Chain A
Amino acid sequence: MSSALRSILANRLRSILTILGIVIGVTSVILLISLVSGLNSFITSQIEGLGSNLIFVIPGRIGGSRSPGGIQANRLILQDATNLQKQLLDQAKVSAVVQRTSTLKYNNKLDRGVAIFGVQGNYPDIISVKLTSGKFFNDSEANSGRKVVVIGPTVASTLFGLTSPIGQSVDIGGLKYKVIGLTKSRGSTFGIDQDNSVLIPLTAAQKQFGLDRLNTIYISANNSEQVRKVQAEATSILKKRLSEDDFSVQTQEQTLSTISQITSVLSLALGGIAAISLIVGGIGIMNIMLVSVTERTKEIGLRKALGARPTDIRNQFLIEAITLSGLGGLIGITLGISLSLIIGLFLTTTITWWSIVLSFGFSTLVGILFGVMPAIRAARLNPIQALRYE
């Protein structure tokens, strides 16, 4: 025991480098995996948090030549949403959404790049909108074209600071809107602030910005068993006016799985990086151990000459390797968790126990293996062979 610790202290540089190799591996694996899992659970919770039994209609065809959000002409119009609502009346609620970006002004304060959503009065029945104060516009307010707005917390703090925005008039793209509600914070996705957005009546948005094409139609089935059926019916209703390539109808579940396909590619990439850093750390440890093998073999020869048994040698090196690897592993875990928590202040991170076990297990295994293997080999030599090793 004491010879192992003495040896660790006597060879500080070697010890520190070994620990460093393990720290690099463990920290990066824990951190990267917590980022990936965080991203996954964030996206899932965002989509699930939208509402229940949701079906999305978006322009373009997913996986087709005209992919959604592409530059091809969007043919989805309000008439489609109205048709859907009429024919699905007893099975689902339908709400259309248009979107663009604009600048908001209040007195001499500006908020640029605000996402403006034009929505119908039934929007909160379909998509969960949590308000911290004020109220949402109802159908008649929305349809009469009144200029009212429900703003996000970032907009509120940028334009109004600490004073209450409710009842104030705000300038959106040159026209005055009355603030009637304030939404709860939803955080940010991929660094895009979701709270820097406002909701205005669809009619007003279409009139002011000339938006006749819809960005999304949300459909909410009245019960969960009917989601698939509603999806099929919505598709056939839309097909009467539109061609197959003009739109996609996706359930919440399908959207989740589409997104999880994207994030799993990302997971794979980051996992690859994590694996590389584990290997880099492992090679670091290996190098240090191999570089010191000559010196260590001589030391083993000397110890044997002075009366060490092969088991004494093995135990010394085992304890040394376990101590260094364990210490490096613990530092790595601490560092990985702290960094994940710090990054968690800005992005969602989820620390997973298996990433801790995996990285710690792998690194300590490499550390112990390469720490002990040369020692066991050297301990088998007779003392004079070990002493003369070059």
Chain B
Amino acid sequence: MKPVIILKNITKIYQSGELSFRALKNINLTINEGDFTAITGASGSGKSTLMNIIGLLDIPTSGTFLLDNVETSKLNDNQLAKLRNQKIGFIFQSFNLLPRTSAIDNVALPLIYAKIEKYERLEKAKISLDLVGLSDKLKSHPNQLSGGQQQRVAIARALVTNPQILLADEPTGNLDSKSGFEIMQIFKRLNKEGKTIIMITHEPEIAKHAKKIITIKDGDIL
């Protein structure tokens, strides 16, 4: 088992004016290649904070984070951008698709930053949309898609660079149970094909699809 994510004594303190808040307290966590992990916990417990640090979207106040054996605190902006682009696919609870932009262009977006030619970008985006069952919605704009479809476009976008790790912050939080179930089927298939998946969820129904469940309480892993 090869560890791809190693967190050592990760602490995150939010500072706003005089007030400071310890959202994560000395987190230690190792995720191995091929894991499918669900993170649960009460609202405000620090799940998203942890996920954003793993996804290189935010930096910890202290502690060490090794991504694929690379010490991330030593990386500059450009190196971080490259890792986000190549190693990680991030799926947001609120989809975060570009408005007024077609599904295929949304999916192809990360490939622009991977310096891939336009023709190849569109080919890869098509394949990726096919993987989530949206081959018939290539030209649709986000406002013409249902919530479940939008989240599947977001998953296709996360997959398009063929990253090692898939991070999903409440991917089914805005969806009905049927759409949520479909998303879980996609995740399970991707995990079987070798992707490492970490997923935040409130719902036990969703968490049970994962191989392993971690619970966070007040910034600590239980």
Q: A310 is contacted by which of B59, B77, B96, B101 (Cβ under 8 Å)?
A: B77
Q: Which of B57, B58, B81, B109 has the most CB of A within 10 A?
A: B81
- Cβ distance B3 to chain A, nearest Cβ, rounded Å: 23
Complex Cα–Cα for A311 and B113 (A): 11
- Contact assessment for B57 and A309 in the assembled complex, using a CB-CB cutoff below 8 Å: no
- Contact assessment for A10 and B81 in the assembled complex, using a CB-CB cutoff below 8 Å: no
Q: B86 is contacted by which of A302, A307, A310 (Cβ under 8 Å)?
A: A307
Contact A2 to B84, CB < 8 A, known contacts A10-B101, A308-B113, A309-B77: no
- Interface size of B by CB at 8 A reads 28
- Contact assessment for A307 and B55 in the assembled complex, using a CB-CB cutoff below 8 Å: no
Q: How large is the interface on A (under 10, 10 to 19, 20 to 34, 35 or more residues)?
A: 20 to 34
Contact A306 to B101, CB < 8 A, known contacts A2-B118, A382-B58: no
Which partner residue on chain A sits nearest B90 by CB separation?
A305
Inter-chain contacts of A302 with B (CB < 8 A): 96, 98
- Cβ distance A306 to chain B, nearest Cβ, rounded Å: 4
Complex Cα–Cα for A10 and B105 (A): 11
Q: Which of B96, B112, B157 has the most CB of A within 10 A?
A: B112
Please report which residues of chain B, range 83-141, place their CB below 8 angstroms from some CB of chain A when the two chains form the complex.
Answer: 84-86, 90, 92, 96, 98-101, 105, 109-110, 112-114, 118
- Contact assessment for B113 and A306 in the assembled complex, using a CB-CB cutoff below 8 Å: yes
A186 touches B (CB below 8 Å)? no
Complex Cα–Cα for A387 and B157 (A): 17
Please report which residues of chain A, range 250-267, place their CB below 8 angstroms from some CB of chain B when the two chains form the complex.
Answer: none
A312 touches B (CB below 8 Å)? yes
- Cβ distance A73 to chain B, nearest Cβ, rounded Å: 76
Complex Cα–Cα for A387 and B109 (A): 16
Q: Which of B57, B99, B114, B118 has the most CB of A within 10 A?
A: B57
For the residues of A in contact with B, the DSSP-based class is helix
- Contact assessment for A387 and B96 in the assembled complex, using a CB-CB cutoff below 8 Å: yes
Which partner residue on chain B sits nearest A299 by CB separation?
B98
Please report which residues of chain B, range 141-159, place their CB below 8 angstroms from some CB of chain A when the two chains form the complex.
Answer: 157
- Contact assessment for B112 and A2 in the assembled complex, using a CB-CB cutoff below 8 Å: yes
Inter-chain contacts of A305 with B (CB < 8 A): 55, 57, 84, 90, 96
- Cβ distance B83 to chain A, nearest Cβ, rounded Å: 8
Please report which residues of chain B, range 51-99, place their CB below 8 angstroms from some CB of chain A when the two chains form the complex.
Answer: 52, 55, 57-59, 77-78, 81-82, 84-86, 90, 92, 96, 98-99
Complex Cα–Cα for A304 and B96 (A): 12
Inter-chain contacts of A385 with B (CB < 8 A): 58
Contact A307 to B101, CB < 8 A, known contacts A382-B58, A384-B52, A384-B57: no
Contact A309 to B81, CB < 8 A, known contacts A2-B112, A3-B112: yes
Please report which residues of chain A, range 264-317, place their CB below 8 angstroms from some CB of chain B when the two chains form the complex.
Answer: 295, 298-299, 302-312
A11 touches B (CB below 8 Å)? yes
- Contact assessment for B81 and A382 in the assembled complex, using a CB-CB cutoff below 8 Å: no
Inter-chain contacts of B78 with A (CB < 8 A): 309-311
Which partner residue on chain B sits nearest A309 by CB separation?
B81
A6 touches B (CB below 8 Å)? yes
Contact A6 to B105, CB < 8 A, known contacts A304-B84, A305-B84, A384-B52: yes
Per-residue contact bits, chain A 363-390, to B (CB 8 Å; 1 contact, 0 not):
0000000000000000000111101000
Complex Cα–Cα for A11 and B82 (A): 28
- Contact assessment for B58 and A384 in the assembled complex, using a CB-CB cutoff below 8 Å: yes
Closest 6 CB pairs of A and B: A307-B85, A307-B113, A10-B100, A306-B110, A383-B57, A309-B81
Q: Knowing that A11-B100, A383-B57, A384-B57 touch, tell me 7 more A-B residue pairs with CB under 8 angstroms.
A: A299-B98, A302-B98, A305-B84, A309-B77, A309-B78, A310-B78, A383-B58
